[in-house]
Amino acid sequence: MLSLNLTRESVRFLATLDAKPFRQVVSKVFALLTDPYPQDAAQLKGYPYRRVDSGEYRIIYAVESSLLLVYLIGKRNDDIYKRLGRRS
């Protein structure tokens, strides 16, 4: 099983969510620990990251050896990709 590492930005975003979306997103993150390459995950073009959807939210992550790194979590229609571009 993988170890989980969340960025500060991801933790801050999770803290802003209401109870139901919080449970959905966190359960998806925990599911990634057992299966880091689910069928609905996609490789992001131009980045070493993958993305997976959880309801109306996107989870941007990478797997490095035995570590699951969650870089960003945000709304699909939001500026998540602009934020990703600023971080890289």
| Least confident segment among 19-33, 56-70, 74-88 | 74-88
- Looking up residue 55, the CATH number of its domain turns out to be 3.30.2310.20
Taking the alpha carbons at both ends of the chain, their separation in whole angstroms is 27
- 78: containing domain: 3-87
| 63 bridge partner residues | 68
Of the candidates 37, 24, 88, the residue with the CA atom closest to the CA atom of residue 80: 88
Confidence of residue 88 (pLDDT cuts 50, 70, 90): low
**pLDDT at position 77 over 80:** no
The number of domains in the chain is 1
Beta strand pairing status for 57-64 and 67-75? antiparallel
The pTM of this model reads 0.91
Number of Cβ within a 10 Å radius of residue 32 = 22
